[in-house]
Amino acid sequence: MQPLGISLVTVVLGSVVSGIFLAAAAVSFRENERRAAGILLITGAVALAPYLTVGLVAFTAKSIVALILVALPPVVALVVLFPAGKRRIRKDDTPRRRIDERDIMFARRRLDPGTDRYEAYYRENPEKRLPDEKFRSKPGLLAEGSAYYNPYHFAAADAGFSTVEAFHAGLDREPTARQIKADPAKTTHFIKQWACKLGAMSVGIATLEDYHLYSHLGRNEPYGEPVVLNHAYAIALTVEMNKTMLDHAPFGPTVMESAQQYLNAGAIAVQIAQFIRNLGYAARAHIDGNYRVVCPLVARDAGLGEIGRMGLLMTPELGPRVRLAVVTTDLRLVVDSRKRDDSVIDFCTKCKKCATTCPGRAIPFDDRMEIDGIERWQINQEACYTYWCAAGTDCGRCISVCPYSHPNNPMHNIIRFGIRRSSLFRSIAVKMDDLLYGRQPPSNSGVWPAGRERPLIVNR
């Protein structure tokens, strides 16, 4: 190639490489990620320098250096995206037994000291009394006197949770007497499309398995009764939690968003359940505060994601930045297959950012361990909930810092593509996320709304 041609190709390629970094910097700036934007901006400028030098300056061995620079981007892309070292994880992770809802923190917090139920529970579970006394010594969730108390944020969050409770009366009603003959494929398609129209991010259907159910009631009456649910199918749905609100974690705006999305997920589930009952089939909605099923397990088996280090569902699009609801029914539907994604488990094994950042030190650093006969991670729910009771919010730091929680846009989706394909890329992605966003990213101020957030209509 002639010198002029070498110079032109080198300058053009350098401009493309630099332009990619500058475009990524612009995306980060729009996401209010100033650190990432600055690093990408500098990287784009530095990346352009050697290409401009080769393109504009005459020196010995210019052709060889130009060839190296031209070959470098595709070689790097091939190395990091080639599916080498793709880790396969195929160990059985099907639970062997049901979870007793009486043992989860949301049930234990409802035990009133001095009552017969309280004393009976701790007689049977004496090892839980001391850690539970610790969380009861704190102000409590949405309580005045907690570390991040804000009367507006907490009142708004309580309004959301209270509205969810208002839905509880409509979770499990009798179906209409007249049963419509429903085609499974057509009905399944309709429900999925309608759920998305109502605001769901993703919808999947699983066969309802025994291990999806709690063993006994813990949050609702009749307390302690075995859970019996003679439904054949479960519809799982997710709704997105706003990234900007999550970036405030663990301050009040995050619990506001949590309440809002539990409300949105619940509203969709309640409508779907009533729709099915209108067709003449039994259906029950499972929403915040009133479940008969373990939602993350149902959603995983319905093909909506995997369960990661923090014990939450990791969706392909938004990681754990979602809230869930489930509808169970005997209406025949077309079942989705579970989409096993070993890359999520491998990434969570490498990353550990949620564990590093967790204020309550509730998330394990170790690899998955065998618990109750299956390999999984298990958080320290007592430590997690005790921090909630001290902070006054449901924290959300693990969700906000997770690399999978970045916005669903082309820049981050390219990274997600690489993470799915290559173990090497996953290792690089962990380091790059730490570089761009920090190993322990700072929370935004607890002040919300900020000055730039204005209502659409203002009465003056």
Reference 325, options 437, 425, 198; nearest CA is: 198
State yes or no: pLDDT of 151 exceeds 70: yes
Cα–Cα distance between 441 and 450 in angstroms, integer? 19
Place 63 in a pLDDT band, splitting at 50, 70 and 90. confident
Cα–Cα distance between 141 and 146 in angstroms, integer? 8
Place 67 in a pLDDT band, splitting at 50, 70 and 90. confident
Q: Where are the domains of the chain?
A: 3-81, 101-437
State yes or no: pLDDT of 5 exceeds 90: no
Burial (CB < 10 A; 0-12, 13-18, 19+), residue 380, is middle
Place 1 in a pLDDT band, splitting at 50, 70 and 90. very low
Q: Which residue has the higher pLDDT, 421 or 270?
A: 270
Other Cβ atoms within 10 Å of 338 Cβ, number: 15
Cα–Cα distance between 430 and 419 in angstroms, integer? 10
State yes or no: pLDDT of 83 exceeds 50: yes
Contacts for 16 with CB less than 8 Å, ≥ 6 apart: none
Cα–Cα distance between 21 and 40 in angstroms, integer? 6
Place 338 in a pLDDT band, splitting at 50, 70 and 90. very high
> Which of 149-158, 422-431, 443-452 is modeled with the greatest confidence?
149-158
Cα–Cα distance between 364 and 408 in angstroms, integer? 27
Q: Which residue has the higher pLDDT, 8 or 20?
A: 20
State yes or no: pLDDT of 152 exceeds 70: yes
Q: What is the mean pLDDT of the chain?
A: 92
Cα–Cα distance between 407 and 81 in angstroms, integer? 21
Place 203 in a pLDDT band, splitting at 50, 70 and 90. very high
Residue 51: per-residue pLDDT: 81
Omega within 30 of 0 (cis) for the link into 449: yes
Where is average pLDDT lowest: 30-39, 103-112, 262-271, 364-373? Answer: 364-373
State yes or no: pLDDT of 456 exceeds 70: no
State yes or no: pLDDT of 86 exceeds 90: no
Cα–Cα distance between 234 and 205 in angstroms, integer? 6
- Condensed to tens digits (0 to 9), the pLDDT of residues 360-409 reads 999 999 999 888 778 899 999 999 999 999 999 999 999 999 999 999 99
The β-bridge relationship of strands 374-376 and 306-307 is unpaired
State yes or no: pLDDT of 458 exceeds 80: no
Residue 454: per-residue pLDDT: 45
Residue 13: per-residue pLDDT: 83
Place 85 in a pLDDT band, splitting at 50, 70 and 90. low
State yes or no: pLDDT of 89 exceeds 70: no
Phi, psi of 226 (to 5 degrees): -60, 145
Residue 267: per-residue pLDDT: 98
Contacts for 449 with CB less than 8 Å, ≥ 6 apart: none
**Which residue's structure tokens are 């999925």?**
192
Residues paired with 216 in a beta bridge: 226
Contacts for 54 with CB less than 8 Å, ≥ 6 apart: 6, 7, 10, 62, 65, 66, 69
Q: Which residue has the higher pLDDT, 337 or 78?
A: 337
The β-bridge relationship of strands 369-371 and 374-376 is antiparallel
Q: Averaged over 13-32, what is the pLDDT? A: 92
- Condensed to tens digits (0 to 9), the pLDDT of residues 243-278 reads 999 999 999 999 999 999 999 999 999 999 999 999
Q: Averaged over 351-366, what is the pLDDT? A: 97
